[in-house]
């Protein structure tokens, strides 16, 4: 089902409510990575060019009590957005009330206003997170059109996405549209052959994704901490490597059903301690010492995965191959990243989270067709679930 986007509605002179995902990492009140702000710019610039009056809002972190508000204000985000747009962004440190309403009424075409963190409404009964109908209705009353560009919260049914859409025509922003096209495209109609690469720590986090991707992908390559539960299911000695003992039967069953569709690592980098300075040995996955843990896949696994990627038309990657935060255990993730980046005739997609962070950190941002901005949302989308935030967008 094709969704309406921001180009499908008249915007001139309209107050356009834009739900963005500005849940950016902060340290001591400073933004440490503004990628999510940058990703929202095309939608905001388009609305401004069309003569819309922009009211943009977002959540930031988790707000459970009054004391959380101090460090989770969107004021620094408004300042950074102003710099990126090269125009003044009026910041109203309220989530409702006369001050906010008056400021919106005073907007001229081409003006931008941002109001406070939507999760400030969670302090009094989780009104935002539990999609309080009155709050959704109130926020909807502030504008004429609703543009949802926050894919990162599409898997949540909140007042600031689903609640507003109950009362206002809702269209996708350009970022949301891109996520639907690429992540949704993997699930609904990918170019074959499809290769999925899954990593990260836990099998339990990705059960639904693995199950669904086995229906879609020609090969599912598994690395990262989650691989050792599968290797244990094959009867291998995994030493002190990460293990989810309660998932061994699931892994065993999956391996029996999938056959050679699932590809596991063949070698790994082992150490006696969880440290970047630990002494490293590269061993076959059949020879992990009982008193050591594997913290990354080895060079033979990278070569094996490269071979599996040959000729792929669609590649989706979610989760690092090892403890990539430690430079000495980042080689597997770097190798897989390079292998995907070198595929010139394939649609290459990173499904958010740690693998997106890794690709950016390692300088591969430009080499992928699409890097998702949503961790949890992209995982649930890859599971084949219908996301409430996308369902709420009007169909063409």
Q: Which of 3, 14, 19, 36 is catalytic?
A: 36
Which long-range contacts link 367-372 to residues 24+ away (Cβ below 8 Å)? 367/340, 367/341, 368/340, 368/341, 369/182, 370/178, 370/179, 370/182, 370/183, 372/151, 372/179, 372/182, 372/183
Annotation-wise, does 345 bind a ligand?
no
Q: Which of 69, 202, 313, 385 is catalytic?
A: 202
Annotation-wise, does 325 bind a ligand?
yes
Determine whether 52 is an active site residue: no
Annotation-wise, does 122 bind a ligand?
no
Annotation-wise, does 354 bind a ligand?
yes
Q: How far apart are CA 18 and CA 143, in angstroms?
A: 10
Annotation-wise, does 22 bind a ligand?
yes
Determine whether 389 is an active site residue: no
Residue with tokens 């059109």: 145
Annotation-wise, does 146 bind a ligand?
no
Q: How far apart are CA 31 and CA 379, in angstroms?
A: 25
Determine whether 376 is an active site residue: yes
Annotation-wise, does 21 bind a ligand?
yes
Q: Which of 140, 122, 115 shows the shortest CA–CA distance to 55? A: 115
Q: Which of 353, 374, 375, 389 is catalytic?
A: 353
Helix ranges restricted to H, 54-131: 75-85, 98-105
Annotation-wise, does 184 bind a ligand?
no
Q: How far apart are CA 108 and CA 53, in angstroms?
A: 6
Which tokens in the block code for residue 251? Answer: 């892994």
Distance from the Cα of residue 205 to its chain's centroid: 14
Contact between residue 220 and residue 213 where contact means Cβ atoms under 8 Å apart = yes
Determine whether 36 is an active site residue: yes
Annotation-wise, does 247 bind a ligand?
no
Q: Which of 51, 185, 208, 376 is catalytic?
A: 376
Annotation-wise, does 276 bind a ligand?
no
Annotation-wise, does 167 bind a ligand?
no
Annotated binding site: 21-23, 36, 59-62, 119, 156, 206, 325, 352-355
* Catalytic center residues: 36, 202, 353, 376
Binding residues for ATP: 206, 325, 352-355
Binding positions for substrate: 21-23, 36, 59-62, 119, 156
Binding-site positions for (2R)-3-phosphoglycerate: 36, 119, 156
């Amino acid at each position: 089902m094709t969704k309406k986007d921001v180009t499908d509605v008249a915007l001139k002179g309209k107050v356009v409510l834009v739900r963005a995902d500005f849940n950016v990492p902060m340290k001591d009140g400073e933004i440490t990575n503004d990628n999510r702000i940058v990703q929202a710019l095309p939608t905001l610039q388009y609305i401004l060019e069309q003569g819309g009056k922009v009211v943009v809002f977002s959540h930031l972190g988790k707000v459970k009590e009054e004391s959380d508000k101090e460090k989770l204000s969107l004021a620094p985000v408004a300042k950074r957005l102003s710099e990126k747009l090269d125009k003044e962004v009026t910041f109203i440190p309220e989530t409702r009330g006369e001050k906010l309403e008056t400021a919106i009424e005073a907007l001229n075409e081409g003006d931008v206003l941002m109001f406070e963190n939507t999760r400030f409404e969670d302090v009094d009964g989780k009104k935002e997170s539990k999609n309080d109908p009155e709050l959704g209705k109130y926020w909807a009353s502030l504008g004429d059109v609703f543009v949802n560009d926050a894919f990162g919260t599409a898997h949540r049914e909140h007042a600031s996405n689903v609640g507003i859409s109950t009362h206002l025509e809702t269209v996708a922003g350009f970022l949301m549209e891109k996520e639907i096209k690429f992540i949704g495209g993997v699930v609904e109609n990918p170019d074959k052959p499809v290769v999925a690469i899954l990593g990260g720590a836990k099998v339990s986090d990705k059960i639904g994704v693995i199950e669904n991707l086995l229906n879609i992908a020609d090969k599912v390559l598994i690395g990262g901490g989650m691989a050792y539960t599968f290797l244990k299911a094959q009867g291998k000695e995994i030493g002190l490597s990460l293990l989810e003992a309660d998932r061994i039967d699931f892994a065993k069953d999956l391996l029996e059903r999938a056959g050679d569709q699932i590809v596991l690592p063949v070698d790994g980098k082992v150490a006696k301690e969880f440290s970047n300075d630990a002494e490293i040995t590269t061993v076959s996955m059949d020879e992990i010492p009982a008193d050591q843990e594997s913290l990354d896949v080895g060079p033979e696994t990278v070569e094996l995965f490269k071979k599996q990627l040959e000729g792929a038309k669609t590649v989706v990657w979610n989760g690092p191959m090892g403890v990539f935060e430690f430079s000495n255990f980042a080689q597997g993730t770097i190798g897989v990243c390079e292998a995907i980046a070198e595929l010139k005739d394939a649609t290459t997609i990173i499904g958010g989270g740690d693998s997106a962070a890794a690709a950016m950190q390692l300088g591969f941002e430009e080499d992928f067709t699409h890097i998702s901005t949503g961790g949890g949302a992209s995982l649930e989308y890859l599971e084949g679930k219908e996301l409430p935030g996308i369902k709420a967008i009007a169909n063409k």
